[in-house]
Homo-oligomer: A and B are copies of this chain.
Amino acid sequence: MLNSQSALDLMFQALADASRRSMVERLCRGPASVSELAAPLAMSLPAVVQHLQVLEASGLVRSEKVGRVRTCAIQPAALRAAETWIHERRLFWEHRLDQLGAFLAEQGDEDKGRTP
Contact = CB atoms under 8 A, between A and B. Distances in A.
B80 A83 contact: no
Interface of A: 1, 6, 8-9, 11-13, 15-18, 21, 24-25, 28-30, 74, 76, 79-80, 82-83, 85-87, 89-90, 92-94, 96
A92 to B, nearest CB: 5
Nearest to A87: B83
A25 B90 CA distance: 10
A81 to B, nearest CB: 10
A92 B28 contact: yes
10 contacts: A1-B18, A9-B18, A12-B16, A21-B85, A28-B89, A76-B90, A76-B93, A83-B83, A83-B90, A86-B86
